[in-house]
Structure 1
Amino acid sequence: MTTGIVKSHADSDFQSWNALALAGDADDDGKWQFWFDGHLRFKDDASRLGVSIIRPGVGYKLSRDTTLWFGVARVTINSDNGSIEEDRVWQQATYSLNQFMGGTVSGRSRLEQRFRNDEGDDTGYRFRQFIRWSKPLNEQWSMVIWDEVFFGLNDTDWGQNSGFDQNRLYVGPAYRLSKNWRVEMGYLNNHIALPGNNPDAITNHNLALTFFGSW
Structure 2
Amino acid sequence: MKLLFALPLLMMAPMAYAAEEDTQTWAAVHGMVGLGGRAVVNFDYQARITDEHSRAGQILLRQAIGYRINPKTSVFGGYAYVRTDNLGAKVLDEHRLFQQANFSILDAGKSGTITGRTRLEQRFVEGSGEVGWRMRQQVRGSLPIGKGFALVGSAEPFFAFNKTTWGQKAGFDQLRLFGGLAVPVARGFAIETGYMGQYIARDAKADRMNHIFSLALTINR
TM above 0.5, yes or no, is yes
User: Aligned partner of 1:66: which letter?
Assistant: T
Q: TM-score, normalised by structure 2?
A: 0.87
Per-residue deviation, 1:47:
0.8
Identity of matched residues, %? 33
Per-residue deviation, 1:121:
1.3
Per-residue deviation, 1:147:
0.8
Tell me which protein shows more helix as a share of its residues: 2
* Aligned equivalent of 2:27: 18
On the 8 A contact 2:30/2:217 being kept in 1, the answer is: yes
Which of 42, 58, 64 in structure 2 is aligned with 1:57? 64
Counterparts of 2:31 and 2:171, CA distance in 1: 31
Is 1:109 the counterpart of 2:118? The answer is: yes
Q: Runs of 5+ in structure 1 lacking a partner?
A: 1-9
Is 1:202 the counterpart of 2:211? The answer is: no
On the 8 A contact 1:121/1:157 being kept in 2, the answer is: no
Q: Runs of 5+ in structure 2 lacking a partner?
A: 1-18
* Aligned equivalent of 1:6: none
Counterparts of 1:24 and 1:99, CA distance in 2: 21
* Aligned equivalent of 2:156: 148
* Aligned equivalent of 1:182: 190
Q: CA RMSD in A?
A: 1.5
Per-residue deviation, 1:214:
1.3
Counterparts of 1:168 and 1:57, CA distance in 2: 22
Q: Which consecutive aligned stretches of 4+ in structure 1 deviate over 3 angstroms post-superposition?
A: none
Is 1:211 the counterpart of 2:214? The answer is: no
Q: Deviations over 1:163-193 (max 9, x none)?
A: 0000000011110111110111100000110
1:1-215 alignment runs, 5 A limit: 11-27=20-36, 29=37, 31-79=38-86, 80-99=88-107, 102-118=111-127, 120-195=128-203, 200-215=206-221
Per-residue deviation, 1:194:
1.1
Aligned residues: 201
Counterparts of 1:54 and 1:147, CA distance in 2: 21
Per-residue deviation, 1:82:
3.6
Per-residue deviation, 1:63:
0.5
